[in-house]
């Protein structure tokens, strides 16, 4: 907001100068030799364009103060960063900030602007403009699209994907007289495995029979665990995106061979991961 104000002020000053017939600077100070007024006009336009950027939380910041500073709201920031409890943000952590009220959508296979607009109940025109796209077309899978005003229902839906490609060696349920609270996916030692959904690292450590493990908090009461790693690629507190490498297959903890032990928890209860996987 502050820098936008500055740009507007500079623009008004410039207009005033022109009207009063005062020569405005050396008219070719712009990087590419553009006249100053053109540079200023471009800056003015750029300041109005929605931006998505990473922000490091400072001491004293609240989600509310950050939202206010950048012209968005708490719900936008919470949704964007999978923050379940807006009071639990910490100085030094980084979050993503979108400079308008809305959502950021990760494009799934076969999605078009029209389809995304329908999903969020907004005008396709608004999405085209915010992302400087022209015309409806198939969007590249995985690309992130700003959806102005877009709000998915806050039903607490987290979309999970498989943490790695491999052989399912053991399912959820009874096994040799003991209940197995996750699924096992066999893969060679050292194979990377991935965050099954966007979230925040809540554990990255040795933890009993899990061995070297990662636990992710996905917000809305959802979390996931990844056990028996040989090496981890994340640290506690870090935010991760779905599909990001978080560790490597190993044989730490209670295991007989290299595999990933994968759990999904809802409100602290271990559920069958396959009920949430595609
Ligand atoms: Zn297991």
Domain residue extents for the chain: 1-48, 101-148, 167-275
Ligand 1: centre distance to CA 273 (Å)? 12
**Cα–Cα dist 224/226, whole Å:** 7
Largest separation between any pair of C-alpha atoms in the chain? 90
pLDDT over 60 (residue 155)? no
Q: Measured in angstroms, how far is the CA atom of residue 182 from the centroid of ligand 1?
A: 6
- Distance from the CA of 84 to the center of ligand 1, in angstroms? 28
Class of domain 167-275: mainly beta
Res 1: pLDDT: 42
**Is 224's pLDDT higher than 60?**
yes
At 175, which helix (H) or strand (E)?
strand 173-175
Task: Say how many Å lie between the CA of residue 251 and the centre of ligand 1.
Answer: 11
Reported as a pLDDT band with limits 50, 70 and 90, residue 237 is: confident
Q: State the distance from the centre of ligand 1 to the C-alpha of 200, rounded, in angstroms.
A: 22
| C-alpha of residue 180 to centroid of ligand 1, in Å | 6
Q: Please tell me the distance between residue 169's alpha carbon and the centre of ligand 1 in angstroms.
A: 9
Same fold, 101-148 and 167-275: no
CA 238 to ligand 1 centroid distance, Å: 25
Task: Say which residue, 33 or 269, is predicted with more confidence.
Answer: 269
- Own/partner contacts of 69-78, CB < 8 Å, gap of 24 or more, are 69/1, 69/2, 70/1, 70/97, 70/99, 71/1, 71/4, 71/99, 71/100, 72/97, 72/98, 72/99, 72/100, 72/101, 73/101, 75/101, 75/151, 75/154, 76/100, 76/101, 76/102, 76/103, 78/219
Bigger pLDDT: 260 or 133? 260
| pLDDT for 120 | 82
**Domain spanning 101-148: which superfamily?**
LysM domain (3.10.350.10)
Q: How far is the CA of 228 from the centre of ligand 1 (A)?
A: 9
In tens, the pLDDT along 76-118 reads 998 888 787 777 788 999 999 999 999 999 888 888 999 898 8
pLDDT > 80? residue 19: no
| Distance of CA 204 from the midpoint of ligand 1 (Å) | 17
Q: What is the DSSP letter of 195?
A: -
- pLDDT of 23 reads 45
Ligand 1 centroid – CA 270 distance (Å) = 12
Residue 13 has pLDDT above 60, yes or no: no
For residue 140, the CA-to-ligand 1 centroid distance in Å is: 35
DSSP string, 105-169: EEPPTT-BHHHHHHHHT--HHHHHHHTT--S--BPPTT-EEEEET-----S-------SS--EEE
> What are the tokens at 89?
């943000």
| Residue 99 pLDDT | 93
Residue 236, Ramachandran bin (φ over 0: left; ψ between -120 and 50: alpha; else beta): beta
Question: How close is the Cα of 40 to the center of ligand 1, in Å?
Answer: 60
Ligand 1 centroid, distance to 14 Cα (angstroms): 67
């Amino acid at each position: 907001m502050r820098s936008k104000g500055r740009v507007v002020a500079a623009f008004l000053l410039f207009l005033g100068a022109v009207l009063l017939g005062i020569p405005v600077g050396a008219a070719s100070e712009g990087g590419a030799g553009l006249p100053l007024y053109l540079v200023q006009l471009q800056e003015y336009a750029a300041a109005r364009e929605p931006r998505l950027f990473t922000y490091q939380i400072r001491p004293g910041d609240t989600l509310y103060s950050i939202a206010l500073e950048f012209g968005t709201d708490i719900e936008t920031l919470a949704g964007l960063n999978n923050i379940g409890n807006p009071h639990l943000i910490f100085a030094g952590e980084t979050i993503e900030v979108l400079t308008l009220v809305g959502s950021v959508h990760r494009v799934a296979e076969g999605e078009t602007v029209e389809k995304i607009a329908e999903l969020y109940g907004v005008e396709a025109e608004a999405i085209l403009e915010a992302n400087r796209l022209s015309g409806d077309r198939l969007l590249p899978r995985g690309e992130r699209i700003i959806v102005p005003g877009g709000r998915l229902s806050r039903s607490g839906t987290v979309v999970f994907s498989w943490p790695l490609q491999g052989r399912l060696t053991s399912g959820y349920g009874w096994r040799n007289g003991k209940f197995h609270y996750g699924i096992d996916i066999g893969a060679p030692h050292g194979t990377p495995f991935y965050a099954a959904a966007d979230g925040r690292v809540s554990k990255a450590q040795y933890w009993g029979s899990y061995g070297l493990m990662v636990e992710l908090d996905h917000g809305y009461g959802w979390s996931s665990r990844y056990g028996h790693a040989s090496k981890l690629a994340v640290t506690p507190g870090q935010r991760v995106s779905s599909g990001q490498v978080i560790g490597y297959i190993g044989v730490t903890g209670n295991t007989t061979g290299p595999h990933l032990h994968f759990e999904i928890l809802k409100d602290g209860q271990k559920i069958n991961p396959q009920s949430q996987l595609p």
